[in-house]
Amino acid sequence: MFLRIRLVASPAQRYLSTSQARCAGHNKWTKIKQKKGANDASKSATYSRATQDILVAARTGGGVDPSKNTVLAVVLKRLKAQDVPKDNIAKALAKVNDLTPRQFVFIPTLPFEAAKVKSSGDTTTYEVIACNSVGMIIECATDNSNRTVKALREILNTRSARMAPVGFMFQRRGIVTVGMDKGDDFDDRLDAVAEMALLNGAVDFEELPMESESQSQVKFYCETSELSELTNALTQEPSVTLIGSELVYNPLEKTQVSDEDDEVLEELIQTVEAHDDVVRVSTTL
């Protein structure tokens, strides 16, 4: 008797890996998109803020001619360095006095054709108390104050803040910031510039903490009515570089807050500053 044996070939075994596939390219692209999105948002905020800065500077200095308005000239120089598009600047200049099409505003090395716009808008300040102790003044440029107030209240109400009179906690002042090259004769040059500034409306000055080994920054303070004169005088000084000229709300006293409130306030200020109508936020921090 014979025993039949049937041989069956078993299929080759395959082993599956459950480890996560590497997607280095995908992850890199995600990071690039996130970074690009953040950069785009930052640029958008800068462009929006540029319009408000020009409006305030033009009104503060008395016109859209930078050869006669030093405050505006300083702002335009800064915006050029930030690569703000010429069209954005032209539209902002046009807003001040509703300039007609084809009217040109000439700026040294930077000509802009002003476009016609509907309205010049209004500049308004809102007083706010945050975390029951911190004073805030929010400066806005808007063509619809009702819309702006509504948007600000929505931001404030969810972040331990509300509108309340806090103007007594601040002093309105003009500030001109200049840069001066360091060197062996720096103290002598600073004394000379300070003396000249005091003769042209400055009431005080301070040297800021040094950020560069080659240049120091100095802030000169003045009454609001003296800002244009002081700015013009410092512009003529060959040993300084004009960095900024603006009207600000200076706190009379600084407010101390807890670490918890500090986090809330930081998020509040960032959110308010990101609003399109907001020009500047001053606090007692």
Question: Could you report the per-residue pLDDT of 75-103, keeping only the tens digit for each?
Answer: 888 888 778 888 888 877 776 655 333 33
Q: What is the pLDDT of residue 102?
A: 34
Identify whether 14 is part of a domain: no
Contacts of 145 (CB under 8 A, 6+ apart): 122, 124
On whether residue 68 sits in a domain, the answer given is: yes
Domain total of the chain: 3
246 inside domain: yes
Asked if residue 110 belongs to a domain, the reply is yes
Confidence of residue 43 (pLDDT cuts 50, 70, 90): low
CB-neighbour burial class of residue 170 (10 A; exposed 0-12, middle 13-18, buried 19+):
buried
177 and 239 in a single domain? The answer is yes
- Backbone angles phi and psi of 64, in degrees to 5: -100, 10
CATH code: domain of residue 209? 3.30.70.1710
pTM listed for this prediction: 0.65
Q: What is the pLDDT of residue 254?
A: 94
CA pair distance 282, 227, nearest whole angstrom: 19
Q: Is residue 8 part of a domain?
A: no
Residue 193 and residue 242 in one domain: yes
Confidence grade of residue 74 (pLDDT, cut at 50, 70, 90): confident
pLDDT digits (tens, 9 = 90+) for 233-270: 998 999 898 888 888 999 999 999 999 999 999 999 99
Average confidence score pLDDT of the chain: 79
The structure tokens listed for 67 are: 């050869």
Query: Which residues form the domain of 128?
Result: 122-169+253-283
Looking at the structure, do residues 194 and 239 belong to the same domain, yes or no? yes
